[in-house]
Amino acid sequence: LSNQMTMMFEVEDLAVASPATVSRCGMVYMEPEALTLQPLIDSWLESLPPKIRESEKIMKKLRSIYENVMDDACYYLRKNCTEPVLTVDNNLCQSSFRILDSYFTKYRDTEIKVVEKAEIEELEGMITSLAAYALTWSVAATTDISGRKRMDAFLRNKFKENEMEFPKENTIYDWSFDDKNKEWKPWLEIIPPYNC
């Protein structure tokens, strides 16, 4: 190496590093609160299945929903609700993405099946409902009973502002979105009765 060259090593973690190694490492730690959710949103949108990314309508709607709802919902949760188990905004955002990703797996081309344009058009019609479901069971799921009442009112308002349809009856926690039939169904209709 010449004097103008520097060799840098980046490790995933310091799980097996000795104290001597750690003392020679310069580290920058940023609190999760110092980072916005925007890089996560951008990265996730870029990781969606290609056929979904090709749909301008879906991409525009998802970006709009996450940029207009997620930050506000996390802020509201922190200021107005109690979490029995503390979370960080990044994890809540990732949880929401994972819920949506579970719906999106069938929109990836495989050796056996190629996703048809009609399937993507069908997804366009229910993307706001899927996003509302994912937001409900990520950012709104970690609070206690009294916080759920407040989050229900807050998210219903945010959903309305962002043209996201949600059933008016009961609370947001009482509904599941059935993507096969493209409709909201009460949890009690989906879960079979338990018999001893």
Q: What is the pLDDT of residues 65-101, one digit of tens each?
A: 999 999 999 999 999 999 999 999 999 999 999 999 9
Q: Would residue 92 count as lying in a domain?
A: yes
Residue 9 lies in a domain: no
**Cβ contact 109:166 at 8 Å:** no
Q: Which residue has the higher pLDDT, 103 or 194?
A: 103
Please say if the pLDDT value at position 5 is more than 70.
yes
Q: What is the CATH number of the domain that holds 159?
A: 1.10.472.130
Instruction: Please tell me the distance from the alpha carbon of residue 164 to that of residue 69, in angstroms, as a whole number.
Output: 11
* Residue 135 maps to a domain: yes
Task: Please give the average per-residue pLDDT across 123-147, as a whole number.
Answer: 95
Q: What is the mean pLDDT of residues 178-188?
A: 91
Q: What is the mean pLDDT of residues 103-117?
A: 91
pLDDT digits (tens, 9 = 90+) for 148-177: 999 999 999 999 998 888 888 999 999 999
- Predicted confidence (pLDDT) per residue in 44-60, tens digit: 999 999 999 999 999 99
Q: Establish if 29 belongs to a structural domain.
A: no
Residue 93 lies in a domain: yes
Confidence at 27, pLDDT banded by 50, 70, 90: low
Decide: 129 and 165 in contact? Cβ < 8 Å: yes
φ and ψ of 176, to 5 deg: -130, 145
Is 143 among the domain residues?
yes
Closest CA to 54 of 141, 117, 148, 133: 117
> In this predicted structure, what is the pLDDT of residue 19?
76
- Mean model confidence pLDDT for the chain: 89
Q: Say how many domains are in the chain.
A: 1
Query: 3-class DSSP state for residue 169?
Result: coil
Find residue 176's DSSP bridge partners. Answer: 185
The pLDDT assigned to 18 comes to 75
Of the candidates 111, 129, 140, 114, the one whose C-alpha atom is nearest the C-alpha of residue 180 is 129
| Separation CA 22–CA 170 (nearest Å) | 54
Residue 173 lies in a domain: yes
61: nearest Cα among 107, 111, 125, 114: 125
| pLDDT for 20 | 75
Residues of the domain holding 98: 36-190
Instruction: Yes or no: say if 7 and 1 are a contact pair by the CB < 8 Å rule.
Output: yes
* C-beta separation of 126 from 182 below 8 A: yes
pLDDT (0 to 100) of residue 14: 72
